[in-house]
Structure 1
């Protein structure tokens, strides 16, 4: 019997939290995962006592959905998205909706939107921002794709989204790949923000020779100014955080950083459109360099915290 308002495929932490968020707002969700044992585990533990229903096959999942059927995927970008779409197509009818909530490349979303439209199926590519906590208690959502889908997903998306002064952090951003394009640029900007924070940390640590708690205090002070932001706030917390041996954890972490692609895609798009985003480009290159280095190499003149007198900011400005 059709009972679920929406289905969600992919029960990693983000998917689980989004399901629970939807449940909290009165929507019945049908949960499915490729490894079906995870469905049973989720229903018996995290989703125990909720309205969430499970499915052990895509056929069963589709049979439990109200029409028009709404199916959201939170799976790894790339081939996995196409594989699920290809499996869903024979099970769906014209007017049904497929939503990709992963970090897909926006051109892939444009292609999928066009291909599915030719079959009468409505496609939405939506950015989902806010991480695991955001998914659970209120993400920022950036849906785009076939505009005919928006009235059918708007009540769910705007209910579960974060709210600022009563306004949901979710609205329709445009057709085809627009949702994932906005998410790509959003992530690219975050690359730049994180690079600036890393460079500030480098100057504090290796030039000003500040201690961990001193640096944390500086970031806390910055967070009370126009720099107030989530990234500045958590940087202060990270700098203060101590390991089980009571020593600061951050210096123990290897100086390398990976990437999933959104920053790189932003830089490539900027080159294609002739838009200068030099900070984002440099942030991507810095990650490339960090992943290549086994050890961080610091020029002797900036690595003398323990062997020379600490210089003040005013002295540094004279050099």
Structure 2
């Protein structure tokens, strides 16, 4: 099997080595000749260079490939993807060829490109998670589309991807550009879980006075049981690290958090689709709040430092609260995927989606089996649900910030306890005559139910 790869950055280089090791013949190109030379050197050191061909231009790359051709793109999202696609057309790709965008592109761009290039070649999308290590040794691969070119690629991607209990973490999750949407939501969940773990750390560190090393031990004990996950494990390791001066490394790191944009896309698309994912949105906003000094509204967002209160936590309750909140973060992401699938008619398979997340990716966790059981299973978790209520209350009393923890508690409370939406409906109708709906389903106005005293206005 021959395949071409355009883009030999960190992800591209590692995926290339993975592909070659699995027996694929690879034709690789990058506009930076040093990137090609580095990949060749790595392949030579591994004894697999005979299946690698580095080319200096796209025309040469296209000529070397047998038809129908398969080309993978791992270039930065945005205009560069379109430029490479246009260059490939000029280089000679044809209608039967498939080009797969494997970068972190916006799914809306994928939809547009499928239409734009439909008479030129088959354009497909695939989200890849796992970072450089995953790309090298087995990533999670979320593909989409029904293009015929997939049939020749699937057997190879199933080998290249990570495996869990003998099953590949590659899947075509749905139609059109749904693979990039699923990867986007994956990253939104990633934001939420990272922030949630940081909040657990904050509560233990400042709320109870534990050292980073002591918090690391708590996280390690959680990781050794059903709560085992990649993010929790690396957080435990990070908190155990010390400098040459025996200082906790985490204390030497600046508080500002960067972002690549996929978390923001998740929040934006959730709002556009009218699907509530408050934990994921709160995580995005939490990152923004760490950078307030760099915003145009910096002065208006600067407040005096305030003292915080210590809390007396039950570690078993904290563990249960973390478990339940984590499940709810995933469920919000899956609800967003399902809602988008209905809206765009993608026919996304949530079971296949979860399978791609079971190994190789950043949000892999042992408790994905519990998430797969659905909302019905979450409804049986009475103890963890009560623990989340209690821990969220204690967290607020500490005076510290817990955006994801409290948003998650608000999410489940809103969906499982009496709502206050009836009053908000009435308010909207009172000042804007937007109308209300009664319990019987009748649409009317407040004035139809009672005579309003106009003096209030």
| TM-score normalised by structure 2 residue count | 0.64
Using the TM superposition, give the Cα deviation of residue 249 of structure 1 relative to its aligned residue in structure 2, in angstroms.
1.1
Q: What is the CA–CA distance in structure 2 between the aligned matches of 1:297 and 1:132, rounded to whole Å?
A: 40
2:17 aligns with 20
Q: What is the CA–CA distance in structure 2 between the aligned matches of 1:168 and 1:258, rounded to whole Å?
A: 32
Q: What SS does the corresponding residue of 1:256 show, helix, strand or coil?
A: coil
Are the aligned partners of 2:8 and 2:29 in contact in 1 as well (CA < 8 Å)? Answer: yes
2:72 aligns with 72
Q: What pairs with 1:40-55 in structure 2 (closer than 5 Å)?
A: 40-43=37-40, 45-48=41-44, 49-50=47-48, 51-55=51-55
What are the superposed Cα offsets for residues 15-68 of structure 1, whole Å, 9 maximum, x if unpaired?
11101101111001111111123212321x212132211101111111111221
Q: What pairs with 1:216-255 in structure 2 (closer than 5 Å)?
A: 216-255=216-255
Are the aligned partners of 1:110 and 1:145 in contact in 2 as well (CA < 8 Å)? Answer: no
Q: What pairs with 1:159-174 in structure 2 (closer than 5 Å)?
A: 159-174=159-174
Max Rg structure: 2
Q: What SS does the corresponding residue of 1:157 show, helix, strand or coil?
A: helix
Q: 1:63/1:247 Cα in 2 relative to 1: closer, same or farther (>3 Å)?
A: same
What are the superposed Cα offsets for residues 65-110 of structure 1, whole Å, 9 maximum, x if unpaired?
1221111111111111111111011220111011111100000011
Q: What is the CA–CA distance in structure 2 between the aligned matches of 1:116 and 1:317, rounded to whole Å?
A: 55
Q: What is the CA–CA distance in structure 2 between the aligned matches of 1:311 and 1:167, rounded to whole Å?
A: 44
1:111 aligns with 112
Q: What is the CA–CA distance in structure 2 between the aligned matches of 1:224 and 1:38, rounded to whole Å?
A: 40
2:435 aligns with none
Using the TM superposition, give the Cα deviation of residue 311 of structure 1 relative to its aligned residue in structure 2, in angstroms.
5.4
How many correspondences in the alignment? 307
| TM-score normalised by structure 1 residue count | 0.90
Q: What is the CA–CA distance in structure 1 between the aligned matches of 2:219 and 2:57, rounded to whole Å?
A: 49
1:100 aligns with 101
Following TM superposition, where does structure 1 have runs of at least 4 consecutive aligned residues deviating by more than 6 angstroms?
294-298
Unaligned runs of 5+ in 2: 315-392, 398-457
- The worse-fitting range, judged by mean Cα deviation, of 146-155 and 179-188 is 146-155
- Which of 293, 303, 306 is matched with 1:300 structurally? 306
The structure, 1 or 2, with the larger RCO (C-alpha pairs under 8 Å, 6+ apart) is: 2
1:151 aligns with 151
Q: What is the CA–CA distance in structure 1 between the aligned matches of 2:242 and 2:274, rounded to whole Å?
A: 45
CA RMSD of aligned residues (A): 2.1
In terms of fraction of residues, the more helix-rich structure is 2
